[in-house]
Structure 1
Amino acid sequence: MDGVLRHHGSDRSDDEIIRNLHSTLVSACQSASDHHVQTLYKLILDSSALGVIDPLIELILEEQVLDAERLREIAFWFTTKAPDREPVKFSMALLGLLRGSDDSDVFLTLGRHDEFTLYSAVPLSNSDVYGEEVLWKLAITAEDWGRIRSC
C-alpha cells in the first residue's frame, strides 16, 4: 500500500504537506480540541506516512516546540484507536520518537500485520529501551511482506 500510494498519491509537494502536518500538530498539541485533532487526523489520512514521516520527525526535532506529553497522548490515541491505516502508521512513528514509556506491546501487536511491521521495527531498533529481544519477538511473528521489508 505504501509503495502504491507514494507513487500515485497527492499532487501537493512533500514540503507543503510536511509544513501543514507540523503546524497542525503544533496546534493540536497546544489545544487538543476536537477541531484541532480532527483536522490533524484528516491531514494525516490524506498523506502517505512513508513519504512524510522522516522529514516531519526531523522538523519536530529541529523546532522543539511540541509538548512531548500532549504529543504522546495524541500519538498513543491514534495508534491504538484510529480506524484508518495512515494515522496508525504516522502515530506509531511518533511514538517511536518519544522516550519514557514502554510501548513494546503496542508495537509487537500491530507489527504482526505486514503493513505495520516496518512502523514497529524502526522504533524498536532505534530505541535503547527495548533491546534486541523485543525486536527478535517482532521478527519471529512477522510474516510475508512485513518480514521482508523490515529486514
Structure 2
Amino acid sequence: MLSFKAAAPLYPWAGRPSAYDSIVLRTGQDGKLKSQALPDDDEYADKPERSSALWRLSLDDERTVREEADEALARALARALARLSRDRSVRNRRAAYLALMRDESLDAIGPALQALHKLPGLNARHLYEEAHWMARHGVHRNVVKFGIALLSQYGSERHKELVFTLGKHEEFTLYAASALLGMEQASGALCELARYVTGWARIYLVERLDPDTQEIRDWLLRDGFRNEIADAFLAYTCALKGELQEALEADAIDPKLFAGASGILSALIRGGPAEDIDDYEQAVPVIGEFLRHAERMRDEQAGRDGVEAIAAYLEQDEERWQARCGSGGWTRELRGAYLAQCRCILSAYGE
C-alpha cells in the first residue's frame, strides 16, 4: 500500500490574519486585550507535547543529545536566515518560516542568534526587514517570537509600536520586553506595557523594571503589585522599588496610595511564594506610618484589609514573636502599641 507524506503548506501565512492583526482586533478601548486567542490556536492545541523518544537514555545522555540537537538546529536556522538576508525571495522566506514554525526552534533562539552574526555575507539591513515582516505578518507564534528576538538585536525605534502591541499578549511579552530594553526610555515603555498585562507577564516585567521616575514608583505602589496569579509575588518588590516607606512618611496621602499600601501589607503578611513581611526590613516603620494614616482615613474602606491583616499578624503566637522581638526594630512594647491602635481603628469600622 502506498503512503504519502503530507506536504508542507505552500505559504503558511497566506490568507490568514497575522498574530499582530489578531491582537489589534481584540484590543478594547482601554488598550487591553479582550481575548488571548491567536490565529494558530487550533494547530498549537493539536500538537503533541515534546516527544520523549529519548526516554531510554540516562539523564546525562539525554542532556547531551538535546544540547547537540539544539546546536545543530541553531546552525540550520542561522544558515536559513543568512540565506534569506542575502536573497529575500519568497522561496527563501518560506524555507525560513517553515523552519521557525517548529516547536524546537524556540530552544535554539539564543544559539541561533549567536551563530547568525558569525556567518559571512550576512546582510543586516535585509535581515532587519525580514524580522520586521515576521513580527508584523507572522501567523504562527514561534515565527513571531523569533521575529521579535531578531528585532531586539537592533536599537531602532521603528519597531517600538509593533513589539509593544505584540507584548500585550502574554505569549509575546517576554520577547517584546527584550526588544524594548534596547530603546530610549525603556523603563517607561516596560511600565506602560505592564499596565496592559495581569498574569505572569506582569510579574516578569515588574521584577525587571527600573523605577527611574516618580511616575513609575507611584504606579508600583498603587497598582503594580496587583496580578492574577498572587499579589504576594510582587508585594515585596513593589514595596522596595516603589519606596513605600518614603511615600507613607508624607503628612497626608491620597486614597489610591492608601489602598495600595493596604494591599501590599496584606499580601506581605499572608506570605506565599516570595519574600514576606518578616523579610521586609522596613516593616516596623511602614506599619506604623500606615496605621497613622488609617486613623485619619477611617472612611476609606480600602484600608480595612490592611489593618485587619496587621492585627492578625500582631496576634500570632508568642513563639513567633519571641523570634521577632529584638530584630528588625520590633519590641514587645511596640507590638502591643500597634495592636491597640489596630483594635481602636477596627472598632471605628464597626467590627
Q: 1:44 aligns with which of 100, 104, 116?
A: 100
1:8 aligns with 2:64: no
Measure, in 1, the Cα distance between the counterparts of 2:86 and 2:203.
39
Deviations 1:106-132 (A, max 9, x none): 12111110110001111212x143421
1:147 aligns with 2:202: yes
Relative to the length of structure 2, the TM-score reads 0.38
In structure 2, the partner of 1:75 is 131
In structure 1, the partner of 2:23 is none
Q: Which runs of 5+ in 1 are unaligned?
A: none
For the residue of structure 2 that corresponds to 1:113, the secondary structure is coil
- For 1:59, the aligned partner's letter is A
Q: 1:133 aligns with which of 164, 188, 192?
A: 188
Deviation at 1:143, TM superposition (A): 2.1
1:116 aligns with 2:172: yes
Measure, in 1, the Cα distance between the counterparts of 2:176 and 2:76.
25
Higher helix share: 1
For the residue of structure 2 that corresponds to 1:141, the secondary structure is coil
Coordinate RMSD, CA, aligned: 2.5
Q: Which runs of 5+ in 2 are unaligned?
A: 1-46, 54-65, 208-351
Q: Call closer, same or farther: CA 1:10–1:30 in 2, change over 3 Å.
A: farther
Q: 1:96 aligns with which of 152, 172, 190?
A: 152
- For 1:93, the aligned partner's letter is A
Measure, in 2, the Cα distance between the counterparts of 1:28 and 1:9.
30
Q: Call closer, same or farther: CA 1:68–1:99 in 2, change over 3 Å.
A: farther
Deviations 1:20-55 (A, max 9, x none): 001111111111111111000000001445411111
Relative to the length of structure 1, the TM-score reads 0.84
Measure, in 2, the Cα distance between the counterparts of 1:143 and 1:50.
24
- For 1:31, the aligned partner's letter is D
User: For the pair shown, which has the larger CA radius of gyration, 1 or 2?
Assistant: 2
Measure, in 2, the Cα distance between the counterparts of 1:64 and 1:99.
22
Measure, in 2, the Cα distance between the counterparts of 1:42 and 1:19.
15
Q: Call closer, same or farther: CA 1:25–1:114 in 2, change over 3 Å.
A: same
Measure, in 2, the Cα distance between the counterparts of 1:51 and 1:37.
21
Deviations 1:38-89 (A, max 9, x none): 0000000014454111112222334464211101110111100111100000
In structure 2, the partner of 1:61 is 117
Structure 1 runs, 4 residues or longer, greater than 4 Å off: 9-12
Corresponding residue pairs, total: 146
Measure, in 1, the Cα distance between the counterparts of 2:52 and 2:97.
16
**Percent same amino acid at aligned positions?**
28
